[in-house]
Amino acid sequence: MSLSKPGPMSLVPFVSVENMMRIVVERGVERTLVELADYIEEDFRRWPQFDKTPRIAAHSPDGVIELMPTSDGRSYGFKYVNGHPKNVRSGRQTVTAFGVLSDVDTGYPVLLTEMTILTALRTAATSALVAKYLAPKGAKVMAMIGNGAQSEFQCLAFKAICGIDTVRLFDIDVKATEKAVRNLQGKGLNVVACKSGEEAMEGAQIITTCTADKQFATILSDNMVGPGVHINAIGGDCPGKTELHRDILLRSDIFVEYPEQTRIEGEIQQLPEDHPVTEIWQVMTGVAAGRTSDKQITLFDSVGFATEDFSALRYLNAVLKEHQGQQMLDMLADPDDPRDLFGMIERYGKAAEAL
């Protein structure tokens, strides 16, 4: 039995994993990805309005725990996210997350949500949005290296946002590829399981690398990448954790989210501090050029930036009204007299004694 009723200002909407799944199923995955990409683009286009900082990372031998805060002056958002490639062996996700959106004027949270699913959606939506600006015109075939938790989201985002019709899958673990093939059945994509990275590359105009390994890995070697392709490199997102051979970087025009963070975490940690990169928001606002020739290799050195999570929180907050089922959490103390926090506990104690 509960001895106190939550006050009117104590309740914060909470989106559980089940509620998130319901929202995605009710809206449809592809529609969710397209709508989310619109929110992400809107926020990239007003980039100067955001408070920005490289994410705050706590590294350990097997992984990292990160906090990703940002604010546009009206709302504040942060995500807690981990990255532990070995987790899969104990039945856990490599990446899990949750996040909060708050009102800057009062500091009160307006939303608390799971963000494991939301991160997969926002990462895929960002990748495809960026590719819309950088990939060769009319690209239809994508190589998808790494067929873990993120992979189907990536494939569907590139279908819905960039119009690709074929994905060529490769993973060192054949079971991961079989799972992705199963999940992508009947989704309107031609799905080809490949036995090697080289085979996956055949005829691909877009290459997505989305593997998890805490080391300087070489998922793509220089000879695997021909002229004119767009590379969407997702998995190199921590110091000491990269996917591309350095020579590929030297042949590519490199696009990043926030250079201050990417130089620490992205593929470009392999290059000197002053190696030129283009910020993707500048391509979206027309300040910088994106793809300028058919021969050019464009590389999106993706690490995931806080504004993308902010956009995802903003999107979820907007669509929540159209879906039933979120819970209200008794999360904020709300005494009758705001200064009588102690008295609220005393009264609670007396009510408990009187029982």
Ligand X SMILES: NC(=O)c1ccc[n+]([C@@H]2O[C@H](COP(=O)([O-])OP(=O)(O)OC[C@H]3O[C@@H](n4cnc5c(N)ncnc54)[C@H](O)[C@@H]3O)[C@@H](O)[C@H]2O)c1
The binding site for ligand X (CB under 6 A) comprises 83, 85, 88, 94-95, 119, 123, 145-151, 171-173, 176, 210-213, 217, 219, 234-235, 237, 302-304
Looking at beta carbons only, is 141 or 212 nearer to ligand X?
212
Side chain identity at 81, as an amino acid letter? V
Give the C-alpha distances (Å, rounded to integers) separating 267 from 68, 156, 239, 319, 331. Answer: 20, 24, 9, 35, 40
Q: Name 34's Cβ contacts closer than 8 Å, sequence gap at least 6.
A: 125, 160, 161
Looking at beta carbons only, is 225 or 303 nearer to ligand X?
303
Looking at beta carbons only, is 217 or 329 nearer to ligand X?
217
Minimal CB distance to ligand X: which residue?
A: 148
**C-beta of 235: minimal distance to ligand X in Å?**
4
**C-beta of 30: minimal distance to ligand X in Å?**
19
Instruction: Identify the CA nearest to 254 among candidates 159, 130, 139.
Output: 130
- Would you call 165 a catalytic residue per the annotation? no
Looking at beta carbons only, is 119 or 326 nearer to ligand X?
119
**C-beta of 303: minimal distance to ligand X in Å?**
5
- 3 state DSSP class of 92: coil
Q: Which of 171, 237, 301, 309 is catalytic?
A: 237
Give the C-alpha distances (Å, rounded to integers) separating 248 from 289, 320, 347. Answer: 20, 43, 67
For the chain, list the strands marked E by DSSP: 11-15, 56-60, 63-71, 75-83, 97-103, 109-114, 141-145, 166-170, 190-193, 206-209, 216-220, 230-233, 242-244, 252-256, 278-279, 297-301, 327-330
**C-beta of 294: minimal distance to ligand X in Å?**
27
Catalytic residues: 237
